[in-house]
Amino acid sequence: MATPGHVHDHDSGEGLVPVDEARERVLSTIKPLQPLALPLTEAYGCVLAESLAAERDIPDFASSAMDGFAVRSSEIASATTTVPVELRIVGRAMIGERPEGTVGGGEAFAIATGAPVPAGADTIAPIETCEVAGGSVRVLAPSIGGKHIRPSGEDVRAGETLVQAGRRLQAPELGLLATAGFAHPLVHPRPRVVVLSTGDELIPPSQNPDYGQVRDSNAYTLFAALREAGAVPTIAGIVRDDVDAFKEVVFSHLTQADAFISSGGVSVGERDVVKAAFFRRGEVDFYRVAMQPGMPQGFGEIEGKPYFGLPGNPVSVFVSFETFIRPALMKMMGRRQLFRPQVPARLEDDVTGPIGKTQFARVRVRRTKDGWVATPTGGRGSNLIATVAKANGLAIVPPGTQTAHAGSQVKVILFRSMED
Ligand code: AMP
Ligand code: MG
């Protein structure tokens, strides 16, 4: 039976929004960014917004795959080293140029690898099977029709789909689109995200703290996490716990932001600046999520731009980014897979968390011959940023489980590539 004490007990989970529901609230308001035609180098890594089909054959001319002579296969069918076929050299097919003239009976064109095949010829006699003597060539072996010729349309036929809408443009796609002449494909752009750090106690990493001062780490955690996700971060800097100054910084960045992230100032305290600035206007909702770390969260829209108000503790920032912001960014970028991969892993040590919340425990996972094994990297405190730096995964300990015991199975979100 619930006692009044439970209502305010942070571990109980009462009155808190479940993680999945909080994430759904966020994702249901997020839309893919309006597609833009971007140059290929900027379109790299973005999701294609329309399917693209080849307008012409690729390649669009037949070319030689060998250095040698472009000839008629019927004329050299009987060629041998003892009885060669002698042909008159009547032209030269050069790379990058349309060959002038036609290969007729008793004739050959000298041709280089990659050069267009002249009209009249249907095969290449490679230089290795030829002897050149003055203005003629003696062909010493037959070469059947089509041999050593790369036909037009061999790679892609005109009208065939090159890249489907929804596909992310990586190295092979970029090369293919370049070949086909799509120099400015229509893609969902990378979200530009403005990052603010709130707190009177904060100083930049380059300064030495006076007693009680804290270096701003969240801006850099978020910068890197945003870059890794494919977004374009801007660090707007440290903002004092002053409502007017804070709003000024947010609104001055409106035109260069597709989304905002702030850290700190979302709890219940008098000085919680983000809450004080946006709560009354109703633009940003503030609620408590049944998760540890990362319980207090703010989310809403400022002039139509998603606004994520994260708590200040460094681990909360990292876990909140992974839980809410990264999937939202993926959706903004038009990605189909919004979530990180998860693996089932066996815990090497006990993980104890709050019974009513989802706990995201920092672990190092490795693959063994008996499957994945997860080792916790430290305590559960949301200020312990070094536990994140040692980890490559977040083990999910669901509500209802106080202690996930050593030897038990947990799901682990992999937040680093296994190569790192
Ligand atoms: P707050 O949510 O503003 O009450 O902050 C919670 C804790 O996180 C406090 O100990 C802050 O000093 C710390 N904190 C807030 N912002 C940052 C930041 N940008 N970098 C490092 N620590 C921070
Ligand atoms: Mg603060």
Residue 280: pLDDT band with limits 50, 70, 90: low
Percent of the chain scored above 90 by pLDDT?
92
Whether the per-residue pLDDT at 270 is higher than 70: the answer is no
- For residue 390, CA distances in Å to 11, 51, 223, 376 come to 26, 42, 19, 9
Which ligand neighbours the alpha carbon of 295 most closely? 1
- Per-residue pLDDT at 419: 85
Query: What is the mean pLDDT of the segment spanning 265-283?
Result: 81
Which of 195, 243, 263, 385 has the most ligand 1 atoms within 8 A of CB, as the residue to mutate?
A: 263
Whether the per-residue pLDDT at 8 is higher than 50: the answer is no
Residue 416: pLDDT band with limits 50, 70, 90: very high
Q: Model confidence over 318-328: pLDDT tens digits?
A: 999 999 999 99
Minimal-distance CA residue to ligand 1 atom 10: 313
- Average pLDDT score, the chain: 95
- This prediction's pTM: 0.92
Minimal-distance CA residue to ligand 1 atom 5: 312
Q: Model confidence over 44-98: pLDDT tens digits?
A: 999 999 999 999 999 999 999 999 999 999 999 999 999 999 999 999 999 999 9
Whether the per-residue pLDDT at 397 is higher than 80: the answer is yes
- How many angstroms separate the alpha carbon of residue 236 from the centre of ligand 2? 16
HSE-up of 151 (CA within 13 Å, CB side)?
8
- How many angstroms separate the alpha carbon of residue 272 from the centre of ligand 2? 6
Which of 218, 266, 319 has the most ligand 1 atoms within 8 A of CB, as the residue to mutate?
A: 218
Query: Token pair for residue 272?
Result: 């919680």
Residue 2: pLDDT band with limits 50, 70, 90: very low
Whether the per-residue pLDDT at 5 is higher than 80: the answer is no
- How many angstroms separate the alpha carbon of residue 199 from the centre of ligand 1? 7
> Ligand 1 site: residues with CB under 6 angstroms?
197, 199, 201-202, 214, 216-218, 263-265, 267, 311-314
Query: What is the mean pLDDT of the segment spanning 341-348?
Result: 98
- How many angstroms separate the alpha carbon of residue 312 from the centre of ligand 1? 4
**Nearest atom, ligand 1, residue 265 CA:** 3
- Among 3-7, 225-229, 397-401, the least confident range: 3-7
Whether the per-residue pLDDT at 4 is higher than 80: the answer is no
Which of 214, 217, 288, 319 has the most ligand 1 atoms within 8 A of CB, as the residue to mutate?
A: 214
Answer whether 328's CB lies under 8 Å from 191's CB. no
Query: What is the mean pLDDT of the segment spanning 107-127?
Result: 98
Whether the per-residue pLDDT at 121 is higher than 70: the answer is yes
Query: What is the mean pLDDT of the segment spanning 11-18?
Result: 85
Query: What is the mean pLDDT of the segment spanning 207-233?
Result: 98
Which ligand neighbours the alpha carbon of 309 most closely? 1
- Per-residue pLDDT at 274: 94
Residue 244: pLDDT band with limits 50, 70, 90: very high
Which of 238, 313, 318, 385 has the most ligand 1 atoms within 8 A of CB, as the residue to mutate?
A: 313
Percent of the chain scored above 70 by pLDDT?
97
- How many angstroms separate the alpha carbon of residue 203 from the centre of ligand 2? 12
- Per-residue pLDDT at 9: 56
Q: Model confidence over 160-215: pLDDT tens digits?
A: 999 999 999 999 999 999 999 999 999 999 999 999 999 999 999 999 999 999 99
- How many angstroms separate the alpha carbon of residue 265 from the centre of ligand 1? 8
Which ligand neighbours the alpha carbon of 236 most closely? 1
- How many angstroms separate the alpha carbon of residue 383 from the centre of ligand 1? 9
Residue 292: pLDDT band with limits 50, 70, 90: very high
Query: Token pair for residue 53?
Result: 């089909």
- How many angstroms separate the alpha carbon of residue 199 from the centre of ligand 2? 4
